[in-house]
Amino acid sequence: MRRPMVAGNWKMHGSRASVGQLLDELLRSATPPEVDVAVCPVFVHLSQAISTCQGSALSVGAQDCSTHESGAYTGDVAARMLADLGCEWVILGHSERRAGHTESDGLIAQKLQAAAAAGLKPILCVGETQAEREAGRAGAVVAGQLRGALEGRDKPVGLVVAYEPVWAIGTGLTATPEQAQEMHRFIRDELAALDGLDAAATRILYGGSVKPGNAGELFGQPDIDGGLIGGASLVAADFLDIVAAAA
């Protein structure tokens, strides 16, 4: 019922040469048709990625967008500009932006609305820190992030949620399949409690040190619909193995 999806978050990595090489390697292999595959390079590499991926099974997303449509916002990039370029996706609320750019749930909610208005499909990231998990607050934190971003607002068409426990991002630590499934089930229940969202049809990706060796077990859980992949998405063979595990 839900199409599996694997998206690569390339973060602030790469050059035109390395992006070209990585895309060539990815495009050389056919990805399973039943999996939606996306790559999300840094803003300045989007145009290159979009033209290289044209006509292929790979779609392209950005890693952030502005809340504004246009105007005197130096350094910002509007959702409409990304859509106009050919982006299909935009990652919003990544923990690195929540922490490094003090992005609040309210700001992320505005970005979600801007993305949806521009026709971009948002990948909304949520997840608790190690301290919050140890304090038994993981569920409350994630529920707060979901409600803060989505409650009382129009729900973006094609919304994807990514559960990314902060303690698992780039650390080599991964939630166990059971821990991840428990939180994904919880997220689905929280989504079901929001008006205007078909929770059963909404894809929930897992992110946090997903590798070829652990992807199969994670993606085999009933409420895990694929992954948002950081480090391993920069290595074509690893990313392709992870995509294969989602099929």
- Give the interface with ligand PEP as residue ranges (CB under 6 A): 9, 164, 169-170, 207-210, 228-232
Comparison of 80 and 230: residue with beta carbon closer to ligand PEP: 230
Q: How far is the CB of 141 from ligand PEP (least distance, A)?
A: 17
Position of minimal CB gap to ligand PEP: 230
Residues 6+ positions from 153 with CB-CB distance below 8 Å: 109, 112, 113
Residues 6+ positions from 220 with CB-CB distance below 8 Å: 177
Residue found under tokens 């809340």:
67
Q: How far is the CB of 32 from ligand PEP (least distance, A)?
A: 20
Q: How far is the CB of 125 from ligand PEP (least distance, A)?
A: 7
45 is catalytic: no
68 is catalytic: no
Comparison of 145 and 209: residue with beta carbon closer to ligand PEP: 209
Comparison of 85 and 235: residue with beta carbon closer to ligand PEP: 235
Burial 170-185, CB ≥16 within 10 A → b, else e: eeeebbebeebbbbbe
Comparison of 6 and 228: residue with beta carbon closer to ligand PEP: 228
Q: How far is the CB of 92 from ligand PEP (least distance, A)?
A: 12
DSSP of 168-191, one letter per residue? GTTTS----HHHHHHHHHHHHHHH
Q: Which of 96, 103, 164, 190 is catalytic?
A: 164
E-state strands within 76-141: 89-92, 121-126
Helix axes 138-150, 105-118, angle to 10 degrees: 50
Coil, strand or helix at 222? coil
Residue 67 and residue 115: Cα distance in Å, rounded? 8
Q: What is the DSSP letter of 73?
A: -
Comparison of 39 and 229: residue with beta carbon closer to ligand PEP: 229
Q: How far is the CB of 221 from ligand PEP (least distance, A)?
A: 16
For 56, half-sphere exposure in the C-beta direction (CA atoms, 13 angstrom radius) is: 21
Q: What is the largest CA-CA distance in the chain?
A: 48
Q: Which of 94, 128, 132, 190 is catalytic?
A: 94
Tell me the catalytic residues: 94, 164
